[in-house]
Chains A and B, each alone.
Chain A
Amino acid sequence: MAAQRIVVVGASMGGLRAAEQLRAAGWTGRITLFGAEAHPPYNRPPLSKEALAGTVDFPSLALRRRSSVSDVEWRLGTTVTAARLHDRTLELGTGEQVAFDGLVAATGVRPRRLPLPGPAAGRHTVRTIDDADGLRAALLRPGVRVAVVGAGFIGCEVAATAIGLGAAEVTVIDPEPLPMLRPLGRPLAEVLLERHRERGVRFALGRTVTAFQGTDRVTGIVLDDGTELPADVVVEAVGSLPNTEWLAGNGLDLSDGVRTDELLRAGSLPHAVAVGDVARFPNARYDGVPRRVEHWSIPGDSAKHAAAALTAHLMGAEPDRAPFAPLPAFWSDQHGFRIQSFGAPSLGMDDIRVLEGSADKDITVGYHTHDRLVGVVALGGPKAMAGAARHRAGLLAQPAAA
């Protein structure tokens, strides 16, 4: 009998961490990772910040690998077009078929695009090294005018980096009235808007893009109030779409990612798990509603949990039934300041209080449900970060919320 094999589809952070955690869980069989990109696993957050700014080079973004995965097989630059989970077979873009015993879905997301016709040249997204490389070259052209569509994390980070690179004009467009309003809430979003404006970023808020201008390449955009905004570079930072098409036909719930149970198992299949951005999992720490979470910490946390469940199943053991209950955390660096979040601010948006500091320097804000702290966000420098870290322990210690 051939050695048992686990296939990991997706060779970014979630895929790499899954391979490492399979070894940590005691899996000694074969592990094969398939990655559509030619690059070995790399760290994506710097793509809108340090790597875009040119303060770190692309090779240095490679993720550290544990020595335990020195024997895994890498199939980079290889697309998986389909998986037949019941037959335990993968189909590759080359037509090749690959048999497996267990599967980890780690295919992540791709950027959503504006559903508007227009020239392709001059329109950018930020997800891959190749994207960031192309955008950096465009931003370095003297006198460049930049329109950033979307005032979320990536949009705000790209706007800050573009200003830092000396772009002549940077305008951020968003239908919401404030930048990063949904993740941060009104008080911090107002502070953020002011800090961006002070540094030269312009905003068109409460506005959407209705058309691109230009024939061979983008020369501008048109907003829904008729405003024409000249732009040499348009960055589309309008969210993402999970890469799940290859899993179609298996009876899984693939509406907004791979729906998993509390052990990260896809559907109720014990030999298939999902990790990272593509997984839509219930978080037992909160309300148990399945959600996708595109935070940097999730690939690592989910890989640990999913690998343990998958390894236990394939080795004939009972999986540890402790449900997956990660503490959400995210950060963002914009201009010279950092935003650091712990917990679930989105569950406490109706009761936001300043815990420490003030808007003009370091500020730490708490989000409450029924008078209980459920999330904390700090904005500023090291002092604010230390404040957030102090509250993190309390958030971790809380029992699951009702």
Chain B
Amino acid sequence: MKVVVDMNKCQDHGQCVFSAPEVFQLDDSGHLVYTSDPDEALRDQVEDAADVCPLQAITIED
């Protein structure tokens, strides 16, 4: 699974962090950092994270 976040869209809401904390985090200054090739076992979490992104900035490329 390949995860891409459009960082031009992302506004660091952090909703994805609540859904998939192993894949998405906010750093000390509140900006998003993420893993672009998470384990397939996390797919449901990542789908949920993409759903709840207020800017719809997360895409999953299979």
| Cβ of A339 to closest chain B Cβ, rounded Å | 12
Known: A17-B51, A64-B51, A392-B18. A385 touches B56 (CB 8 A): no
Is A300 a contact of B52 with CB atoms below 8 Å? yes
Nearest CB to that of B29 among chain A residues? A382
* Bound-state Cα–Cα, A66 to B46, Å: 11
Beta-carbon nearest neighbor of A61 in chain B: B56
Partner of B59, one of A45, A64, A333: A64
Q: Is A383 an interface residue (CB 8 A)?
A: yes
Q: Mark B21-33, 1 if CB is under 8 A from A, else 0.
A: 0000010011100
Assess whether B13 is interfacial by the CB under 8 Å rule: yes
Q: Is the interface on chain B under 10, 10 to 19, 20 to 34, or 35 or more residues?
A: 20 to 34
In the bound complex, do residue B56 and residue A381 qualify as a contact, i.e. CB atoms below 8 Å apart? no
Complex: A17 Cα to B53 Cα, angstroms? 13
Asked if B58 lies at the interface with its beta carbon under 8 angstroms from chain A, I say yes
Cross-chain contact B51 with A386 (CB below 8 angstroms) = no
Q: Across the interface, which residues of A come within 8 angstroms of B55, CB to CB?
A: 43, 46
The contact of B62 among A46, A67, A383, A385, by CB within 8 Å, is A67
Partner pick for A383 among B9, B11, B30, B53, CB 8 A cutoff: B30
Closest partner residue, chain A, to B17 (CB atom): A389
- A389/B14 in contact, CB under 8 A: yes
Query: Which A residues are in CB contact (< 8 Å) with B18?
Result: 389, 392
B58 touches A64 (CB 8 A): yes
Q: B1-51: which have CB < 8 Å to A?
A: 9, 11-14, 17-18, 26, 29-31, 47, 50-51
Contact with B along A384-402 (1 / 0, CB 8 A): 0110010010000000000
Residue of A nearest to B26 (CB): A386
In the complex with contacts A331-B13, A382-B12, A385-B14, A63-B56 CB distance below 8 A: yes
Q: Within 8 Å of chain B (Cβ to Cβ): is A286?
A: no
Q: Nearest chain-A residue to B28 (Cβ)?
A: A386
Within 8 A of B (CB), among A353-370: none
Most B CB contacts (10 A, CB to CB) among A63, A383, A389, A392 go to A389
Residue A296 interfacial (CB < 8 Å): yes
- For A392, the chain B residues whose CB sits under 8 A away are 18
Binding site for B on A (CB under 8 A): 17, 20, 43, 45-46, 56, 60-64, 66-67, 296-297, 300, 331, 333, 340, 381-383, 385-386, 389, 392
Binding site for A on B (CB under 8 A): 9, 11-14, 17-18, 26, 29-31, 47, 50-56, 58-59, 62
